[in-house]
Copies of this chain bind each other. A is one copy, B any other.
Amino acid sequence: MLKFDEQKQLDSVNGALKLRGEINEVVDEICKKGYKNICWLGIGGTYASCMQAVVHMNEKTEIDIFVENASEYLTTGNRRVGEGTVVVISSVTGSTEEMVEGVKKVKQAGAQVIGFVDLESSTLAKSVDYNISYPLNEQLKFFMVADRFMYNKGEFPEYDDFYKEMDKYLAEALVEVEKAADDFGREFAEKHKDDAIHYFVGAGNQWGATYSYAMCYWEEQHWIRTKSIHSAEFFHGMLEIVDRDTAVTVFVGEDLQRSLSERVAKFLPRICGNYTIIDTKDYELKGIRPEFRGNISHLVMHAVTQRIDAHLEAINHHPMEIRRYYRRLKY
Contact = CB atoms under 8 A, between A and B. Distances in A.
Contact of A204 (B61, B76, B215, B226): B76
A62 interface: yes
A43 B236 contact: yes
Contacts of A78: 58
Nearest to A220: B237
Report the copy number of this chain in the oligomer: 2
Interface in A26-82: 43-45, 47, 55, 58-62, 64, 66, 69-72, 75-80
A28 to B, nearest CB: 22
Contact of A239 (B58, B238, B240, B325): B325
Interface stretch (A160-168, A254-262, A307-315): A254-262
A240 B256 contact: no
A216 interface: yes
Interface of A: 43-45, 47, 55, 58-62, 64, 66, 69-72, 75-80, 98, 196-197, 203-204, 215-216, 219-221, 223-227, 230-233, 235-242, 255-260, 263, 266-267, 270-271, 323-326, 329, 331
